[in-house]
């Protein structure tokens, strides 16, 4: 009953899954299967009809669906098997997976697995906005799906809580649809998403932004009628007496993304409490042998291009694993997040292989030096939590690490 | 106008009209459906279990459960005894509790027994614990189902509690069971419907005409004629009572926030609490699906009957206190919070009101004090008795079917049965709600059984009840509802009237403004 002839199974066909599958095939894996729960491949790229994709990867400015299409076509050309409307409902540590679809249940035991389930949005409840539970409150991503894929507009006057990228993009999108965007409210003293979205989505459309503010109450028992907004102090607590009301019939939340790792946990994959994704090594392999991961399921990336680049590694290494060609490990080094670094991915590297390291800072700073132990140093003009840092480390640099060292610290501190 | 608000297309006439589709109304409807009695159940919104929805879903008789419920007693009826052997309410609760078991089996309702566990983590709490133990001796055998339990054993049966625990009291777990209140209500109503009861939803009652003969109930969807009227309107019972006759009592409401925690936190196995301080419940309760419920905070009196809101202070208080019982509970684990309402009458807050209006012998008021779920079957039995006394002719049906089966649950089935289900209906292979693994087949079945809104789908089959709170499946549920009901998506509601999810089509607004 259990099908065992698959080399690499990829769970999810978003940008991460597609890139991983393509590279797995190119690395020589014969049978590569993508399992996708939606009706079409491409993941959330389909609802991202705006441009800004592919600038790094293709050196072109593409929309989300265009970007997805390039990968889908390549995957088809390479004869990657894409199974649609197939949801993986179980995954065991010995890599046995159960997949459900209209055609029944299927059990597979591929030689290697790439987790590419992406991420989901945090909800209103997780950031504690008290008040009623009326209709007209949804995440920015859900609204994006309604507007761009289903053809519906969820409200006429909107307040957006949080200045994540999806929130800012929806501010522009809804404005173009004739919706009045009354405010973007951000609890941090700075915008949460990319600078280009701040300029192109908020600035260009004169959308009012309230920094260091948050929504402290929701009015309306049936349909939302308005929100209370308050200024917050340094500890993000609302300051009494600063509350004011904004009337609206829609509240969108864009308050962060969480990697989606329910399946990973079932397989016994260890999760990094900071990234919310699997702890991986330089091969993007988790603690469970043969289970790899790539893209937003590992850590929430800033750009789709980076998701593709990172997942290519997962795909290649998964194929090598399936074919029994994995290079032996020379010596493990743990990477530790030091000053002003929130996290580092991968969390462990091997001195025998060059590697690209992705990092995010804790807070914005100017004129800093990014240092990885004593082997890597780079001066940066400005760093922001919304933009990932990337460092390529070569074999030569890795050779500088002395024999007794098992952990190096990454930091991003002011120069001089 | 949405599908629910269409006027009634015939003039409805019934022997008995029940106003209110909560657990009490549902129980009465189901009891009546055994007899050759034309019955109509009228609900203001969609059937959604009313107040019971804002409870922990515990049905108990006596024991430590009653001690837990005594927390509210000190607020609603200060100074009243913990146990009054003369109480009619307790008699109905005992009867109702035992009546449930037959119904749980007949109606295929999921239930689990839970133990009650009261723990002490410091000297002061140890003293309170001893006091409770002493008190139980004074009251007598009614409360004697528990024993002392020491730290090691507590940590064994409840590994998620704080390591600071010193000792506790635990009962045998034979007197409290946990079920999902909306499931109980839907099961009863579905079975009543199978046996001929007419359900009229979205029909707020605006007035009742009664002069001698049959009574006419005016609803927003049209008039319903009935010989007898049973008022089971829960927190609106006094408003309805005043329409039906003279009424010298009022409903008073107390609110307490309820918080649902993510399934991924270490699960709580027992109904666990710190020694209760009057008016301040602090309780962790398991759900049958693996989430933990937190109830902690002050019961506060509220004056708006629709007020299910929460506020920042009480949630912060609740989480901080719950964190003391189980350190894994923090703000990050919250998936939903809402206010739970408890209704009592101001004439005798410790008792029910089940009596005919003094000036209308065919209008039976039925205002039940909590716990409503434990009492409901007992109350229904009592109500039928009273109706019989007042001249309702009750002849048993020969073809009464007491059985109802639940919507299949893909998530709980073995692979063998999953395959079988998908073979029969391929929609059961299509998972729509990824957090709770709910399939399209289940959603369609929920709609076939009467769900008309996103919320009602959620209550009937759990789609959207997980950690993303419908962020992913919401749009899909909306389009399935539109497809199955044959109406446009703009008319699909979140819950009651006026709660459309996506009110406009794209381009509608931008074209309008040009």
pLDDT value of position A348: 96
Query: How many angstroms separate the CA of residue A145 from the nearest CA in chain B?
Result: 8
Cβ–Cβ below 8 Å for B509 and A156: yes
Interface contact flag, B418 A100, Cβ < 8 Å:
yes
Q: Which residue of B has its CA nearest to A254?
A: B471
The pLDDT of B138-149, averaged and rounded, is: 73
Same-domain pairing of A287 and A165: no
Say yes or no: B290 contacts chain A, CB-CB below 8 A: no
For residue range A303-353, list pLDDT tens digits in order: 999 999 999 999 999 999 999 999 888 899 999 999 999 999 999 999 988
Distance from CA of A239 to the nearest CA of B (A): 13
Cβ contacts of A104 on chain B, cutoff 8 Å: 419, 422-423, 429
The SS3 call for residue A320 is helix
- Residue B58, pLDDT above cutoff 50: yes
Is residue B418 included in any domain, yes or no? yes
Task: Determine contact: B479 vs chain A, CB below 8 A.
Answer: yes
- Name the residue of chain A whose CA is nearest to B411's CA: A89
CATH classification at residue B427:
1.10.10.1100
Q: Which residues of A touch B293 (CB under 8 A)?
A: none
The yes-or-no verdict on residue B86 having pLDDT over 90 is: no
**Chain B neighbors of A135, CB-CB under 8 A:** 493-495, 499-501
* pLDDT score of B70: 67
Give me the percent of chain A exceeding a pLDDT of 90. Answer: 89
pTM above 0.90, yes or no: yes
Both A167 and A277 in one domain: the answer is no
Nearest CA in chain B to A134: B499
Contact at 8 Å (CB) between A173 and A148?
yes
Is residue B377 in some structural domain?
Answer: no
Does the pLDDT of residue B4 top 60, yes or no?
no
Tell me, yes or no, whether B478 lies in a domain. Answer: yes
| Residue B53 or residue B419, greater confidence | B419
Q: Which of A37-41, B284-288, B494-498 has the lowest mean pLDDT?
A: B494-498
Lowest mean pLDDT among A61-65, B8-12, B258-262, B286-290: B8-12
pLDDT tier at B2 (50, 70, 90 boundaries)?
very low
pLDDT of A270 > 70? The answer is yes
Residues B339-362 pLDDT 10s: 888 889 999 988 999 999 999 999
Question: Chain A neighbours among B 72-131 (CB < 8 Å)?
Answer: none
Q: Could you tell me what percent of chain B has a pLDDT over 90?
A: 62
Say yes or no to pLDDT of A255 above 50.
yes
Please answer yes or no on whether A100 and B431 come within 8 Å at the CB atom: yes
Mean pLDDT of A104-130: 89
Would an 8 Å CB–CB cutoff place B409 in contact with chain A? no
In chain B the first and final C-alpha atoms are separated, in Å, by 27
Q: Which member of A120, A130, A135 has the closest CB to residue B472? A: A120
Residues A17 and A114 grouped into a single domain: yes
Q: What distance in Å separates the CA atoms of residue A235 and residue B488, rounded to the nearest whole number? A: 46
pLDDT for res B299: 80
Distance from CA of B231 to the nearest CA of A (A): 25
Does the beta-carbon distance from B429 to A222 stay under 8 Å?
Answer: no
Residue B457 near residue B451, CB atoms below 8 Å: yes
Nearest chain A residue to B311 by CA distance is A130
Q: How far apart are CA B340 and CA B504, in angstroms?
A: 32
* Alpha carbon distances (Å) from B398 to A143, A389, B30, B335, B391: 53, 76, 15, 47, 21
- Asked if the structure places residue B442 within a domain, the reply is yes
Asked if A127 and A251 sit in the same domain, the reply is yes
Domain region containing A401: 330-416
The residue written with tokens 């900071």 in the block is A274
Q: How far apart are CA A54 and CA A153, in angstroms?
A: 28
Q: Residue B497 domain-assigned?
A: yes
CA of A156 vs chain B CAs: smallest distance (Å): 8
Q: What CATH number is associated with residue A225?
A: 3.50.50.60
What is the least distance, in Å, from the CA of A212 to any CA of chain B? 18
| Gap from A370 CA to chain B (nearest CA, Å) | 31
Domain count, chain A: 3
Region A374-380: mean pLDDT is 93
Please identify, among A288, A309, A326, the residue that sits at the C-terminal boundary of a domain: A326
Are A372 and A298 members of one domain? no
What is the ipTM metric for this complex? Answer: 0.91
Q: Do A115 and A263 belong together in one domain?
A: yes
What pLDDT sits at residue A66?
97
Indicate if A100 and A139 belong to the same structural domain.
no
pLDDT value of position B134: 79
Domain range for B424 = 410-508
Using a CB-CB cut-off of 8 Å, the residues of chain B touching A254 are none
Q: Are B234 and B366 in contact (CB under 8 A)?
A: no
Q: Least CA distance to B414: which residue of chain A? A: A105
Distance in Å, alpha carbon of B309 to nearest chain A alpha carbon: 4
Number of structural domains in chain B: 1
Closest residue on chain B to A98 (Cα):
B415
- Is the predicted pLDDT of residue B457 greater than 80, yes or no? yes
Q: Chain A neighbours among B 330-349 (CB < 8 Å)? A: 331-332, 334-338
A65 plus A113 within the same structural domain: yes
- Could you read off the pLDDT of A280-302 as tens digits, one per residue? 999 999 999 999 999 999 999 99
Q: Indicate if the pLDDT at residue B463 is higher than 70.
A: yes
Q: Which of A271, A294, A326 is the last residue of a domain?
A: A326
Mean local confidence (pLDDT), A171-191: 95
Q: What are phi and psi of A19, to 5 degrees?
A: -65, -40
Does residue B479 fall inside a structural domain?
yes
Considering the domain boundaries, does residue B432 fall inside one? yes
Quick: pLDDT tens for B409-455: 999 999 999 999 999 999 999 999 999 999 999 999 999 999 999 99
CB contact under 8 Å between A125 and B437, yes or no, is no
Confidence of residue B514 (pLDDT cuts 50, 70, 90): low
Query: A113 and A7: one domain?
Result: yes
Check pLDDT > 70 for residue B141.
no
Tell me the average pLDDT of chain A. 94
Q: What chain A residue is nearest to B262 in terms of C-alpha separation?
A: A126
Domain's final residue, options A326, A354, A373: A326
- Per-residue model confidence as pLDDT tens digits over B180-228: 999 999 999 999 999 999 999 999 999 999 877 789 999 999 999 999 9
Name the residue among B423, B433, B424 with its Cα closest to residue B454. B433
Token pair 């009619």 is found at B88
The pLDDT confidence band at residue B511, using thresholds 50, 70 and 90, is: confident
């Amino acid at each position: 009953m259990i099908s065992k002839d698959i080399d690499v199974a990829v769970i999810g066909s978003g940008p991460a899954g597609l890139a991983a599958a393509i590279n797995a095939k190119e690395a020589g894996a014969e049978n590569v299967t993508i399992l996708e729960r939606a009706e079409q491949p491409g993941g959330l790229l389909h609802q991202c009809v705006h441009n800004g994709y592919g600038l790094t990867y293709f050196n072109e400015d593409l929309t989300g669906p265009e970007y997805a299409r390039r990968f889908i076509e390549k995957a088809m050309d390479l004869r990657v098997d894409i199974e649609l409307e197939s949801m993986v409902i179980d995954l065991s540590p010995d890599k046995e997976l159960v997949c459900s679809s209209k055609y029944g249940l299927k059990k597979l035991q591929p030689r290697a697995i790439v987790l590419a389930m992406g991420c989901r949005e945090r909800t209103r409840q997780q950031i504690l906005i008290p008040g009623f539970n009326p209709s007209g409150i949804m995440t920015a991503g859900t609204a994006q799906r309604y507007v761009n894929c289903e053809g519906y507009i969820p409200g006429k006057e909107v307040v957006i809580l949080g200045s994540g990228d999806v929130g800012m993009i929806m501010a522009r999108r809804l404005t173009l649809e004739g919706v009045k965007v009354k405010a973007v409210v951000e609890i941090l003293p700075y915008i949460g998403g990319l600078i280009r979205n701040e300029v192109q989505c908020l600035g260009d459309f004169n959308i009012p932004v309230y920094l260091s503010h948050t929504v402290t109450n929701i009015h309306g028992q049936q349909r939302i009628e308005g929100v209370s907004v308050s200024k917050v102090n340094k500890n993000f607590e609302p300051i009494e007496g600063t509350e004011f009301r904004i009337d609206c019939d829609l509240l969108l939340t864009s308050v962060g993304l969480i990697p989606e790792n329910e399946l990973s946990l079932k397989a016994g994959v260890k999760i990094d409490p900071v990234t919310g994704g699997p702890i991986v090594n330089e091969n993007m392999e988790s603690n469970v042998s043969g289970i790899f991961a790539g893209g937003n399921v590992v850590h929430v990336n800033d750009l789709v291009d980076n998701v593709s680049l990172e997942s290519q590694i997962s795909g290649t290494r998964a194929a090598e694993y399936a074919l029994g060609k994995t290079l032996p490990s020379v010596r493990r080094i743990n990477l530790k997040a030091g000053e002003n670094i929130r996290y580092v991915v991968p969390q462990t590297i091997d001195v025998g292989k060059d590697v690209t390291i992705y990092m995010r800072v804790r807070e914005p700073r100017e004129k800093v030096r990014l240092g990885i132990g004593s082997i890597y140093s780079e001066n940066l003009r400005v760093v922001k939590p919304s933009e990932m840092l990337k460092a390529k480390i070569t074999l030569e640099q890795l050779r500088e690490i002395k024999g007794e060292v098992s952990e190096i610290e990454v930091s991003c501190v002011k120069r001089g | 106008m949405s599908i629910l608000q269409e006027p009634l297309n015939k003039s409805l006439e019934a022997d008995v009209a029940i106003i209110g589709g909560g657990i009490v109304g549902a129980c009465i409807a189901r009891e009546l459906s055994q007899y050759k009695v034309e019955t109509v159940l009228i609900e203001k919104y969609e059937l959604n279990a009313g107040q019971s929805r804002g409870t922990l879903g515990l049905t108990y008789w006596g024991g430590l459960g009653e001690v837990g419920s005594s927390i509210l007693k000190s607020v609603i009826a200060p100074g009243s005894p913990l146990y009054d052997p003369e109480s009619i309410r307790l008699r109905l609760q005992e009867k109702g509790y035992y009546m449930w078991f037959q119904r749980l089996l007949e109606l295929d309702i999921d239930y689990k027994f839970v133990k009650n566990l009261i723990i002490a983590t410091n000297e002061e709490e140890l003293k309170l614990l001893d006091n409770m133990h002493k008190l139980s001796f004074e009251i007598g055998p009614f409360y004697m189902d528990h024993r002392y339990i020491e730290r090691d054993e507590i940590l064994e049966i409840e590994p998620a509690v704080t390591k600071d625990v010193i000792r506790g009291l635990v009962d045998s777990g034979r007197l409290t069971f946990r079920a999902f209140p909306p499931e109980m209500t839907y099961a009863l109503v579905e079975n009543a419907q199978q046996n001929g009861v007419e359900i009229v939803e979205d029909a707020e009652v605006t007035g009742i005409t009664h002069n001698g003969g049959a009574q006419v109930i005016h609803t927003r969807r049209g008039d319903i004629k009935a010989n007898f009227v049973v008022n089971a309107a829960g927190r609106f019972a006094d408003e309805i009572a005043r329409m039906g006759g003279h009424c010298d009592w009022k409903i008073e409401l107390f609110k307490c926030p309820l918080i649902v925690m993510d399934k991924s936190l270490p699960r709580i196995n027992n109904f666990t609490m710190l020694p209760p301080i009057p008016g301040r419940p602090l309780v962790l309760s398991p759900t049958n699906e693996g989430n933990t419920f937190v109830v902690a905070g002050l019961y506060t009196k509220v004056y708006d009957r629709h007020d299910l809101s929460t506020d920042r202070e009480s949630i912060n208080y609740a989480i901080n206190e719950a964190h003391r019982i189980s350190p894994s509970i923090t703000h990050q684990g919250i998936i939903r919070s809402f206010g739970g309402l408890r209704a009592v009458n101001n004439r005798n807050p410790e008792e029910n009101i089940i009596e005919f209006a003094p000036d209308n012998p065919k209008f039976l008021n039925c205002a039940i004090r909590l716990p409503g779920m434990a009492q409901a079957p007992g109350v229904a039995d009592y109500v039928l008795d009273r109706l019989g006394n007042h001249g309702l002719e009750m002849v048993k049906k020969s073809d009464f079917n007491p059985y109802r089966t639940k919507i299949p649950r893909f998530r709980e089935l073995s692979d063998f049965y999953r395959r079988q289900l998908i073979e029969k209906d391929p929609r059961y292979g299509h998972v729509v709600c990824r957090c709770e693994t709910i399939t399209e087949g289940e959603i369609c079945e929920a709609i076939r059984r009467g769900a008309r809104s996103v919320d009602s789908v959620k209550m009937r089959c759990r789609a959207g009840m997980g950690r993303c709170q419908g962020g992913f499946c919401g749009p899909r549920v909306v389009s399935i509802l539109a497809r199955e009901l044959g109406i446009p998506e703009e008319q699909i509601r979140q819950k009651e009237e006026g709660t459309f999810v996506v009110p406009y089509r794209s381009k509608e607004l931008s074209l309008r403004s040009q």
